[in-house]
Amino acid sequence: MTYPPQDPGAPGGGQYGQSQPGPQPPAGGYAPGQVGADAQYQAPQYQPGGYTQPAYQYQPDPNAAYHQQPYDPSVGPAGYGQYGPPPVQATSRGGGGTAVLVIVVVLLMAAGGVGGYFLLGNDDEGSLASDETATSEEAAPEEGSDGEEAPEEESAPAPSGTSLTVPSIGSLTPIPGEEWVYTAGPGASDELMADAEIYTIQHTEYWISYLGVGLYSSAAAAFDPADLNASAESAAAVWLDGAFDSTEGYEQGEIAYTEVEVDGRPGVLAEWRNSWTSAGEYTTDLYEDTAILVVDVDGVNGFIGVASVSESATASYAPAVDALLATDFDAETA
């Protein structure tokens, strides 16, 4: 696109239209040294020894509305007369700014090169010293604000080998026999139980008997200290969810609830039998007895113990239930 737009209809206009006549020279032309019609210029005169100072003679236009006033120090604070000082012509600083910017960039590049030399330079001794410093800082133990070593974060207590522990409520449940093998905790989480410890008996690659104790998890099942039967029933529903999906012909026996007292605290023991017609490759057993003990520890927190013993370890069921009922909540070593 051309600018301004072409006018193809204007005769002789070309791309920008018809040319306009300019000002005409004065009659007789310009005299040598004359600049325009209103100003006279006298060329410098050569004298032996050099040029003389050229004289500029300005002839004001008598028709002009404004005549510059001669300088008079007595007029105005700066001597410019009634019109004040002449306007200052704005000058472009673009070129200077560009030059300064280029210099700054060059200096920054130079500084970066020097910094890079010292930071990443070829001084092997310096690099080795930096590596050794970093290694010593990593190896140094953490210190507290007073300069002492910060204590290590406490880990969950190790299994005692004699009892199942719930540290949060200070309970100890004796291990009922050597056939039970440590599996997890203390401090484990197993759906119904938080802060739990768990032991199992391995029957086949896929089938176990289970003994676990922990803090009753209200997030998994409803716990109501005023209705322990309902709490045990809620826990049983969660425990059975998916527990025997690998069996065929599964039937749940009726749950029997027994009020008990455990270390002076109220509780309820829920017991029932799970039976099936086949478990395929998982086990040849055809039933498993389950007991869930729920105890109101302090009116807020609940203790839960689960013993679920398969047919292959039937003899271990009664000792497991007795161990749950022998739980001690005042254990000093918990």
Condensed to tens digits (0 to 9), the pLDDT of residues 211-227 reads 999 999 999 999 999 99
Over its C-alpha atoms, the chain yields an Rg (Å, rounded) of: 52
Each domain of the chain, given as residue ranges in start order, spans 168-325
Tell me which residue has tokens 């200290």: 225
Confidence tier at 25 by pLDDT (50, 70, 90): low
Residue 330 has what pLDDT?
79
Architecture of domain 168-325: 3-Layer(aba) Sandwich (3.40)
Residue-level pLDDT at 180? 97
More confident residue, 36 or 316: 316
Note whether 130 and 137 are within 8 A (CB): no
pLDDT at 313 over 50: yes
Q: Tell me how many degrees the CA angle 211-216-219 measures, rounded to the nearest 5.
A: 120
27 confidence band (pLDDT: 50, 70, 90):
low
Cβ burial, residue 9 (10 Å; 0-12/13-18/19+): exposed
HSE-up of residue 82 (Cα within 13 Å, Cβ side): 3
Mean pLDDT across the chain, nearest whole number? 72
CA distance 81 to 69: 7
pLDDT per position as a tens digit, 122-175: 444 444 344 444 444 444 445 544 555 554 555 666 777 899 999 999 999 999
pLDDT of residue 60: 53
Phi, psi of 117 (to 5 degrees): -65, -45
- Kindly report the number of other CB atoms within 10 A of residue 52's CB atom: 10
CA of residue 189 relative to chain centroid, distance: 28
Burial group, residue 300, by CB count within 10 angstroms (0-12, 13-18, 19+): exposed
Eight-state DSSP code of residue 161 = S
What share of the chain has pLDDT > 90, as a percent? 49
Of the candidates 56, 57, 86, the one whose C-alpha atom is nearest the C-alpha of residue 71 is 86
Q: Please give the residue that has the higher pLDDT: either 199 or 55.
A: 199
Among 241, 267, 272, 240, CA closest to 256: 272
Tokens 């003990």 correspond to: 293
Q: 8 pLDDT exceeds 60?
A: no
Q: What is the pLDDT of residues 43-62, one digit of tens each?
A: 444 444 444 444 444 555 55
pLDDT for 108: 53
Highest mean pLDDT: which range of 31-45, 134-148, 284-298: 284-298
